Chain A
Amino acid sequence: MGAVNVWSELTGMLGDPLMQRALVAALLVGLAAPVIGTYLVQRRLSLLGDGIGHVALTGVALGWLVGSFAGLAPDALAIPGAVVAAVAGAVVIELVRERGRTSGDVALALLFYGGIAGGVLLISQAGGTSANLMGYLFGSISTVTWADLWLTVALTAVVLVVGVGLRTALFAVSQDEEFARAAGLPVRALNLAIAVVAALTVTVAMRVVGLLLVSALMIVPVAAAQQVTASFRRTMTVAMTVGAVVCVGGLAITYWNDVSPGATIVVLAIAVYAAFALARPAMRRLRGAVEREDPHPAVDDDVQLALGGGR
């Protein structure tokens, strides 16, 4: 393929209004998902996004059911239903976690199975089939409308304002809840903010990668980033960059090859993870050659050595 061909192919892709909307949606989701993912990884709740995603499926079916009763187009209320169910599910998980009665592990398992079963059950009540749920499970970015795009812009703005604007406060409460409480910080409000923003992120990303892979977009870029970073802030920035690049890149690939956008994006993210994992020892060696650091902390010996020169 010559340079002229590549150029015309690219302008062809960027000139397609359908593709334009899809690319903008993918870029926004790629930026927003790792923001909240960073907090989830920090609190060791990597699977929370998955739990919320499953609950959102019940919300989709519920919206579908209400829509059919109200005589609307069957999927008109699917996304609002998903938003409501995801937020409600996230708040419940947070309250259960706070009480500490049920282990987080069991609570997540209940959500996974309850969410899927509820979705399938309700969609059949609404006169639909499980096939109607497939678009939500695996994403349907090629059908993004202007209304969808504006909703995505608004939700992304909320996620970024809360997730980046309150970074130090959310870091404090995720890092050491006891200290945050003793500093008088509104711990419950901040925890709920993380849960609600995670729920909004899930519903935003649902369109791009589908509910089954939403969590991957939140977690994998963070997992990749933290292999090459030392600070929380840098981890978040690198994860956002990785998220944006794999979302836009993955979507662009599907313009020329007929493959699932959601799956392509997630596979790309995992490839970045693998590349960073391979690059890590090399980067360490590069840094070591400059600093020649002793990995042991500089601490005096605790014991008296009979013969001098223990170190």
Chain B
Amino acid sequence: MSVAVRATGVHVTLGGAPIVHHVDLSVDEGEVVALLGANGSGKSTLVRALVGVVPVDRGSVELLGTPLGRSVAWDRIGYVPQRVSAATGVPATAAEVVASGTLHARRLRPPRDTGRRVTQALEQVGLGALAHRPVGQLSGGQQQRVLIARALVRRPDLLVLDEPVAGVDVPSQRAFADALTTLAAGGTTVLVVLHELGALAPLVRRAVVLRHGSVVHDGAPPSPAAGHAGPEHDHVHPHDTADDDAAALTPRVGWEL
């Protein structure tokens, strides 16, 4: 079996601060891996480095067997950034946002069958009926699902998601878990950053836990720390990188190993 993601000795420095260091991570094709850790543990920064959004300081990253760069098979990789809102200055429909996901390093114009693929991707996340609504009018959870559809529209073999269910309403979480289960069953490799396993618990066989920017656990999903357990404890932490940096100064440990 070949390796979908291979990171060796990865260091990431942002604004002079070492956010991620000495990270070795390899994800086999077809695996579903959760990347866990407290706020500010560097898990978001790590996945952003893996997909080339922030530069890797030292170490190497291979995606689907190719070193990070233009020659990576980007059309086989779907990335869902952490986002609070998908709306921008000019109105855009859900279908238009999803259609932008058909583009990649070697394709600057959408393919002919874009319309059909966009409809399929939106149906996968349960938003088929809202294709022509402006994204600004959708709820936060629905906007997040639009961003997931944007990653699915190119039918990726590797799906990288950054906190896809943070601050998302319950039906959207359920729709998301269903879509991910179907994809994983079909052989899609999934690397997902999570604050807690939640609705995805049945799907995740392997968890990698980050603390202070390095891996402290790699194996079976650990049980949550006291006070973070139970279905009644609902985390809602939409935060951006600025918050992550601030939280890095006062690290909290959310996972018991």
The chain A residues found within 8 Å of chain B, CB to CB, are 38, 41-44, 165-166, 168-169, 171-172, 174-176, 178-186, 222, 226, 229-233, 235, 297, 299-300, 302
Contact = CB atoms under 8 A, between A and B. Distances in A.
B89 A297 contact: no
Contact of B92 (A184, A185, A222, A232): A232
A42 B96 contact: no
5 contacts: A169-B109, A181-B51, A183-B101, A183-B103, A185-B103
Given A171-B92, A182-B52, A302-B169, A231 B141 contact: no
B2 interface: no
Interface string B112-154: 0000000000000000000011100111011000010010000
Contact of B72 (A179, A184, A226, A235): A184
Contacts of A232: 90-93, 96
Contacts of A172: 100-101, 103
A185 B102 CA distance: 11
A307 to B, nearest CB: 20
Given A181-B53, A184-B104, A222-B90, A297 B109 contact: no
Contacts of B101: 172, 179, 183
Interface string B168-211: 01111000000000000000000000000000000000000000
B105 interface: yes
Contacts of A183: 74, 77, 79, 101, 103-105
Interface residues of B, number: 47
B257 to A, nearest CB: 30
Contacts of B93: 230-232
Contacts of B48: 178, 182
Contacts of A181: 51-53
Contact of A178 (B81, B90, B108): B81
A-B residue pairs, 3 tightest by C-beta: A184-B105, A184-B74, A172-B100
Contacts of B138: 297
A184 B86 CA distance: 20
A175 B104 contact: no
B88 A42 contact: yes
Contacts of A168: 99-100, 102-103, 108-110
A297 B97 CA distance: 19
Interface centre among B97, B103, B147, B169 (most CB of A within 10 A): B103
Nearest to B50: A182
A302 B173 CA distance: 12
B237 interface: no
A299 B81 CA distance: 23
B70 interface: yes
Nearest to B81: A178
B87 to A, nearest CB: 9
B108 A166 contact: yes
B109 A166 contact: yes
A171 B96 contact: yes
A297 B172 CA distance: 12
Contacts of A184: 52, 70, 72, 74, 104-106
A89 B225 CA distance: 55
Nearest to A190: B108
Contacts of B53: 178, 181-182
Contacts of A229: 91
B207 to A, nearest CB: 23
Contacts of A43: 88-89
B139 A299 contact: yes
Interface string B49-75: 001110000000000000000101010
B134 to A, nearest CB: 5
A169 B104 contact: no
A7 to B, nearest CB: 41
A235 B137 CA distance: 16
Contacts of B150: 179
A183 B110 CA distance: 13
Contact of A171 (B79, B100, B105): B100
Contacts of B90: 38, 41-42, 222, 226, 232, 235
Contacts of A302: 169-170
A182 B51 contact: yes
Given A176-B81, A182-B51, A230-B91, A300 B170 contact: yes
A299 B141 contact: yes
B173 to A, nearest CB: 11
B103 A174 contact: no
B89 A185 contact: no
A302 B231 CA distance: 13
A179 B99 CA distance: 13
Contacts of B89: 41-44
Contacts of A233: 96
- Choose among B79, B91, B133 the residue with the greatest number of A CB atoms under 10 Å from its CB: B91
Contacts of A169: 103, 108-109
Contacts of B77: 182-183
